[in-house]
Structure 1
Amino acid sequence: MGICLERLAVIPLDTEEAGNAALTGAKAANLARAAAAGLPVLPGFALVPQESASDLPHGPSAVRDAWRGLADEEGRSLVVRSSSAHEDTADSSRAGLFASELDVRGWDNFLSAVQAVLDSSRRSRGPARGGGDPSAGMAVLVQPMLRTVVGGVMFGADPVAGRDDRILVSAVRGGPEQLLAGTVQGVRYQLTRHGRLVATEPREHRRDRLLGRRRAWRLVRLAHQAKRVFGEPQDMEFGFDTDDALWLFQARPITALALRAARGARLLGPGPVAETFPEVLQPLEEDLWMAPMSHGLTLALDSAGTAPRRVLRAVPPVTTVDGRVAADLRLLGAVPSAHPVLDFINPIPGARRASAAWRVGRLRIALPMLAVDLMADVDRELTQMPPPQEMLSGQILAALAWGRNVLSSLHAQESLVGSLVGQGSGATAVGEALAVLAEGRSRGITDAELLARHPVLLSLLPPSLERPGRLPHRTGWTGAPRGVEALPAREGLRLRIRWVQEMQASLVREYAARLQTAGRPDALRQLSTLRWPELAGILGGEPWTADVDERALRPDSRPLPAAFRLSQEGRPVAEHIGGRGRGRARSRDRGHRTGQGAGGGLGIGTAWHGRGPRPGHAVLVVRTLDPALAAELPELGGLVAETGSVLSHLAVLAREYKVPTVVGVPDAVDRFPQGVELTVDGTSGTVETVRKGPENEPVSAGAEEGFA
């Protein structure tokens, strides 16, 4: 089918309309913007469907005049390329999907080239990323064919490392199309933002370099100019002509640019707090529960003298990322210091600990009684509190505010008791709850009745403004209930934390029910999106925030990496936190992982991720220590977690029932797939894969290589 020139309009690149990507496509629009900003862009024009630009010159005469203006009487060669609204975008480059015709001479060949580009858009397969027809909005970009002595591709940032302080260039003799076609490898240069050569591959003799110092500096300047024009680093095609003038052939956003942690970003991870808040928190849940936890941990760290007060004032120990709770791993001591030698010779931490030593000594003696007094105060307040249905709005506000304050105290004392006093008898609220659940079910009592009678069961459920989740189906517990009073101080404090959280949740649900009756059918969702000052104002009689109806709940997001830093955009950049020393590095390559031993002795079994049939003697390998996994502990051969601490609910419970447990094992789920045999040493904190020896006896891979 021949090309219909009547249906094509001409838009020169030096016009305002050319910068409209919806009209001329991203490739032509980017070049038009670059040319308007003074970047070295060749002249040219775009051919677009006439119906989208009816007020512009169109038809055979307009197209021929535009062609003649570039080709001139000497028959200059042209380049005819696609320019789609769905290519060269931030989401997708769609590089090489559509045709490009080079060295086009003569009118007839020009028409054939235009037809070939349009045909390539119709033959493209698959929708554009994010939806849409990739051939829709197709324009044809026409420019002179430039003879280049050196050409190539330049990235204004390192897309693999995510570094914006590096500029990558691949250069060849001739035009950049050789690189794009893959026929020539080219020479790769890594430059600093100031044009200094960092590395080149393959190595060149100084006199034979394709990019000397002057050319490299001009490319770096072009990269900076393009970034200023487009607002972000660009993926560019360039060429130096026979007069050594630099020309920009194409500019587009760098797709799939790797994230890089912001300079000075803290090392975060869900480990120490994931068991308390395993799911995404809504804004009100964050203010009611996470903020008091962060404040309480700050008080505990200050009391123990483990961090300077200037740091504690500036850095919260706990924060949220996409609604998921994460802790400052270094501040809470979950990972080794980044500078152990400097810390050893630095007198300040020692002096700080010395000044706090008398407080710590007195705390160690006084904490058990302080904990008993605090738990008694909480129990008395909760007992005397009227049922939510009988409380006025002012009473609900006062109870919620009391809950936030007392949660700070409970978290502070729970942290101090755990680190300074220890676990005591080793009994856990989760173990008590499982025993109550097993006995109650054996007597035919429903889960709802059990929850109403035995609030200790709340330790099996994470806090939520929604109704409590399901209790574990599998228990298999044989221990008899011992009573909440028999729990050690730390577990008693943890249980009160959960009770206060549930009291707050019940008050919010009650207030939401009243609002529903008053004509707000979606009241609970709306309340969940509020911040604490907003809710306090509403309970105090202030009007609702204007935009509350437009607010959406935070969606469920992917679990956070075990350790990460935040990029400048606030997105997590995963980071490996292995141990120190050569032996550790070697052991990681040979099936041997080291974490933190949480007790339970030595065990062997088959790795199981909690999915599918459970092996007979399973080693449960998980990312976080979710209390919901407590029901799986009976008869486990071991427990391995990527995050968490030896003081977590699940780790304590595992010790109580002699399950070998190791926490803080990097990449455990990926490193130990389901079905492999593992040994778990809860004392040394090592986890090793096992292979069968000559007599079909288990042989530790680490021991065989000398890493036992």
Structure 2
Amino acid sequence: MGIDADRLAVVPLTAERAADATLTGAKAAALARARAAGLPVLPGFALVPGQGSGTALREAWEGLTEPLVVRSSSVLEDTAHASMAGRFATVLEVRGWEGFTRAVRTVLDSAPGDGSVMAVLVQPMVRSTVGGVMFGADPVAGRRDRILISAVRGGPDQLVGGSAQGVRYQVTRLGRLVRTEPPERRGHRVLGRRKLARLVQLARRAERALGGPQDVEFGFDTRDRLWLFQARPITAMAARAVRGARLLGPGPVAETFPGVLQPLEEDLWVEPMSHGLTLALDVAGTAPRRLLRGAPVVLTVGGRAAADLRLLGAVPSAHPVLDFVNPVPGARRASAAWRVGRLRSALPLLALDLMAEVDQELAELPPPGSMLSGELLAALSWGRAVLSALHAQESLAGALLDGGAGPTATGEALAVLAERRAAGDGDGDGDGELIARHPVLLALLPPAVRGTARLPEHTGWTGAPHGVGALPPREGLRLRIRWVQEMQARLVRECAARRRAAKGGGDALGELLSLRWPELTALLEEGREPPDLAERRPRPAVPELPTAFRLAADGQPVPERLGHRKSAPGGGQGAGGGRGTGTAWHGTGPRPDRAVLVVRSLDPALAPRLPGLAGLVSETGSVLSHLAVLAREHRVPTVVGVPGALERCPPGSEVTVDGTTGAVT
């Protein structure tokens, strides 16, 4: 089917209005701006909706040298927020008037059905001896001091289409080559140093002309001339950690707080844990006080708990040699030795006294429904203070006493539950009553104010209960921590019930959970609400935190690779998107709930399947290909260049994909 030439106006790239993206689309407008700035852009024109003439269109077509390339230039693609890479039509090797009109119709037919402007970009097609994609910054590592270039022999369409992996170069903004993957032999390089230098200069000029680092498609023709085929802003730029940011991770606190905590839960539980661990580290002399005073040992990121891995000794020191010759740690430990020596013998009795105090306070606590508001607040405040002491002693008990012998609170709870299930108690509807009779069962449940998790139906546990009194000090302290947390949760629920009754309904519990501790105190003591309380919303569920990370300037976690491995075993090149685990799916048959799509190549036709994927693994392809760009935008963990991925990850197998390290396990 032909085209109605009278409804298409011709806008040459040299025209001033060609730089208007609302008229010619983002792709043509960027090339028009780049050409006006003196960058090596081929001649051409854009076809836009409007009053035109067949004569003008034919003259514009005759003014270009065949073969031609006819591409989309939508207002939706190549923007700072979404690249829409490869989503609309491109026709290569266009010859003759009939071929040209068919190509224009093909592009127009690929327009979205939302009525947005779709222009058609027409330029000569260059026979590239070397082509590729260049990013003016590293979108995977979030580094603006690096330029990434992926190149192949021939045209760049092999890379953006995902059919070739190419050679990847990482260079500085001054043109110094940092890394080549895979390594090249001298005399067989796709890009020599002169070509690399010209590309770096092009990246810097494009950044100045277009207002930021660009995702550029380029090609060197048979006369070694460099051409800029396309430029768009880099989307899905990964965050980069703040210089000097601490190494964090869920580490030992994830098992205590496995889910997303609301603000009040943080202040009730995470803050006392952090204070208690700080006291324990100070007493043991394992960390300098300036570090302990400067930042919390435990904090939350997006509501998920994380700890300072170095302060807790979960990772080796970053400077072991300097630590060895530094006299301060030795002096600090010597000053703490006397305290620790006395504490080692006294700690069991101190723990017994603290547990007895907690047991007595909990036993004497009136039912929440009979307590006054002041009594509720006093009990919550006592809980915060005693949790700090419990966490401190629990940490010291684990470090100074023999914590590996004897029963555990979890084992005791499993044994009790198995015994009660065998007796027919707690068939799933009576968990609350069962927990009330056997509080040790709380060791099986994470703390939560809103609702209580269900106990397991069947545990398979065969041990016999020893009784809470038989627990060693550390396990007894851990159990009391859980009891105090549950007491606080019930008190907050009582406060919410009263507030809901006074207001005549509404999500009173959600409102209380959005408060910080000082705000809750003001509300219970003075009846004073924060002015924005009605606008606050519960924190949404967010993905689990990386095993190790540092915080970026915007507070987002930036995964950190621990150790010094140059490449991940069994993996490939990390293309970003974070880390995810799911079920391997080859794209055929029913899609699993959390699917990890494993493919041979990064076909842009797979783009509609990206949303909701737990991961993407490809045997071939480039981290700069269209599909990899789109995957990063959808925050899909992506790894490319994984040999034998289809055979290694058969459908139905569980796969973990790390888009930072490139590991596929």
Deviation of 1:144 (Å):
6.1
Cα deviations by residue, 1:549-588 (Å, 9 ceiling, x for unpaired):
443323333333444445566554555657x999xx99x9
Aligned to 2:481: 497
Aligned to 1:197: 177
Structure 1 residue identity aligned to 2:538: L
- Looking at structure 1, the residues matched to 114 and 552 of structure 2 have their Cα atoms a distance apart, in angstroms, of 32
Matches of residues 652-667 of structure 1 in structure 2 within 5 Å? none
Q: For the structure 1 residues 262 and 70, does the alpha-carbon distance in structure 2 shift closer, same or farther, using more than 3 Å as the test?
A: farther
Deviation of 1:84 (Å):
3.1
* 2:329 equivalent among 349, 360, 363: 349
Cα deviations by residue, 1:294-316 (Å, 9 ceiling, x for unpaired):
12111111111101112222232
Q: For the structure 1 residues 256 and 376, does the alpha-carbon distance in structure 2 shift closer, same or farther, using more than 3 Å as the test?
A: same
Is 1:450 paired with 2:430?
no
Structure 1 residue identity aligned to 2:406: G
Asked if the contact 1:297/1:317 (under 8 Å) is kept, the reply is yes
Asked if the contact 1:159/1:257 (under 8 Å) is kept, the reply is yes
Is 1:487 paired with 2:471?
yes
* 1:99 equivalent among 85, 90, 107: 90
Structure 1 residue identity aligned to 2:52: G
Q: For the structure 1 residues 407 and 15, does the alpha-carbon distance in structure 2 shift closer, same or farther, using more than 3 Å as the test?
A: farther
- Looking at structure 2, the residues matched to 249 and 100 of structure 1 have their Cα atoms a distance apart, in angstroms, of 14
Structure 2 residue identity aligned to 1:60: S
- Looking at structure 1, the residues matched to 386 and 424 of structure 2 have their Cα atoms a distance apart, in angstroms, of 36
Matches of residues 73-84 of structure 1 in structure 2 within 5 Å? 79-84=69-74
Is 1:27 paired with 2:12?
no
Matches of residues 417-566 of structure 1 in structure 2 within 5 Å? 417-423=397-403, 426-446=406-426, 447-477=431-461, 479-517=463-501, 518-541=503-526, 543-566=528-551
Aligned to 2:103: 116
Is 1:49 paired with 2:42?
no
Q: For the structure 1 residues 27 and 491, does the alpha-carbon distance in structure 2 shift closer, same or farther, using more than 3 Å as the test?
A: same
Aligned to 2:637: none
Asked if the contact 1:435/1:479 (under 8 Å) is kept, the reply is yes
- Looking at structure 2, the residues matched to 277 and 66 of structure 1 have their Cα atoms a distance apart, in angstroms, of 66
Deviation of 1:499 (Å):
1.5
Structure 1 residue identity aligned to 2:89: F
Cα deviations by residue, 1:15-65 (Å, 9 ceiling, x for unpaired):
787566565433224335556777665565432334xxxxxxx2216xx54
Aligned to 1:295: 275
- Looking at structure 2, the residues matched to 26 and 429 of structure 1 have their Cα atoms a distance apart, in angstroms, of 62
- Looking at structure 1, the residues matched to 15 and 475 of structure 2 have their Cα atoms a distance apart, in angstroms, of 72
Deviation of 1:510 (Å):
1.1
SS in 1 for 2:149: strand
Asked if the contact 1:188/1:202 (under 8 Å) is kept, the reply is no
Asked if the contact 1:80/1:114 (under 8 Å) is kept, the reply is no
- Looking at structure 2, the residues matched to 485 and 175 of structure 1 have their Cα atoms a distance apart, in angstroms, of 75
Is 1:234 paired with 2:224?
no
- Looking at structure 2, the residues matched to 465 and 455 of structure 1 have their Cα atoms a distance apart, in angstroms, of 17
Is 1:139 paired with 2:119?
yes
- Looking at structure 2, the residues matched to 480 and 210 of structure 1 have their Cα atoms a distance apart, in angstroms, of 70
SS in 1 for 2:258: coil
Aligned positions, number: 569
Matches of residues 606-685 of structure 1 in structure 2 within 5 Å? none
Aligned to 1:60: 53
SS in 1 for 2:477: helix
Cα deviations by residue, 1:163-222 (Å, 9 ceiling, x for unpaired):
54332335679975687689999876442121123456645559x996555x64453244
Structure 1 residue identity aligned to 2:317: S
Provide the alpha-carbon RMSD of the alignment: 4.4
Aligned to 1:275: 255
SS in 1 for 2:526: coil
Is 1:369 paired with 2:349?
yes
- Looking at structure 2, the residues matched to 263 and 395 of structure 1 have their Cα atoms a distance apart, in angstroms, of 46
Asked if the contact 1:234/1:251 (under 8 Å) is kept, the reply is yes
SS in 1 for 2:266: helix
Asked if the contact 1:87/1:95 (under 8 Å) is kept, the reply is no
Deviation of 1:123 (Å):
6.3
Q: For the structure 1 residues 537 and 181, does the alpha-carbon distance in structure 2 shift closer, same or farther, using more than 3 Å as the test?
A: closer
Deviation of 1:483 (Å):
3.6
Q: For the structure 1 residues 418 and 229, does the alpha-carbon distance in structure 2 shift closer, same or farther, using more than 3 Å as the test?
A: farther
- Looking at structure 1, the residues matched to 165 and 399 of structure 2 have their Cα atoms a distance apart, in angstroms, of 59
Is 1:403 paired with 2:388?
no
Q: For the structure 1 residues 406 and 103, does the alpha-carbon distance in structure 2 shift closer, same or farther, using more than 3 Å as the test?
A: same
Deviates more, 1:417-426 or 1:516-525: 417-426
Q: For the structure 1 residues 139 and 375, does the alpha-carbon distance in structure 2 shift closer, same or farther, using more than 3 Å as the test?
A: same
Aligned to 1:333: 313
Q: For the structure 1 residues 445 and 79, does the alpha-carbon distance in structure 2 shift closer, same or farther, using more than 3 Å as the test?
A: closer
Q: For the structure 1 residues 317 and 66, does the alpha-carbon distance in structure 2 shift closer, same or farther, using more than 3 Å as the test?
A: farther
Asked if the contact 1:99/1:117 (under 8 Å) is kept, the reply is no
Asked if the contact 2:26/2:75 (under 8 Å) is kept, the reply is yes
- Looking at structure 2, the residues matched to 179 and 153 of structure 1 have their Cα atoms a distance apart, in angstroms, of 7
Asked if the contact 2:409/2:471 (under 8 Å) is kept, the reply is yes
Q: For the structure 1 residues 160 and 359, does the alpha-carbon distance in structure 2 shift closer, same or farther, using more than 3 Å as the test?
A: same
TM-score (norm 1): 0.68
Is 1:312 paired with 2:296?
no
Is 1:286 paired with 2:266?
yes
Is 1:167 paired with 2:147?
yes
Deviates more, 1:272-281 or 1:154-163: 154-163
Deviation of 1:86 (Å):
5.0
Deviation of 1:120 (Å):
4.4
Is 1:387 paired with 2:378?
no
- Looking at structure 2, the residues matched to 142 and 67 of structure 1 have their Cα atoms a distance apart, in angstroms, of 12
Asked if the contact 2:70/2:103 (under 8 Å) is kept, the reply is no
Aligned to 2:663: none
- Looking at structure 1, the residues matched to 320 and 136 of structure 2 have their Cα atoms a distance apart, in angstroms, of 36
- Looking at structure 2, the residues matched to 480 and 383 of structure 1 have their Cα atoms a distance apart, in angstroms, of 26
Aligned to 1:249: 229
- Looking at structure 2, the residues matched to 489 and 414 of structure 1 have their Cα atoms a distance apart, in angstroms, of 8
Deviation of 1:672 (Å):
14
- Looking at structure 1, the residues matched to 473 and 163 of structure 2 have their Cα atoms a distance apart, in angstroms, of 71
Asked if the contact 2:88/2:110 (under 8 Å) is kept, the reply is no
- Looking at structure 1, the residues matched to 155 and 432 of structure 2 have their Cα atoms a distance apart, in angstroms, of 74
Q: For the structure 1 residues 341 and 182, does the alpha-carbon distance in structure 2 shift closer, same or farther, using more than 3 Å as the test?
A: closer
- Looking at structure 2, the residues matched to 181 and 509 of structure 1 have their Cα atoms a distance apart, in angstroms, of 56
Cα deviations by residue, 1:370-423 (Å, 9 ceiling, x for unpaired):
223322333333333332222333333332222222211211111012111233
SS in 2 for 1:540: helix
Structure 2 residue identity aligned to 1:359: R
- Looking at structure 2, the residues matched to 405 and 473 of structure 1 have their Cα atoms a distance apart, in angstroms, of 35
- Looking at structure 2, the residues matched to 331 and 452 of structure 1 have their Cα atoms a distance apart, in angstroms, of 38
Structure 1 residue identity aligned to 2:529: W
Q: For the structure 1 residues 32 and 348, does the alpha-carbon distance in structure 2 shift closer, same or farther, using more than 3 Å as the test?
A: farther
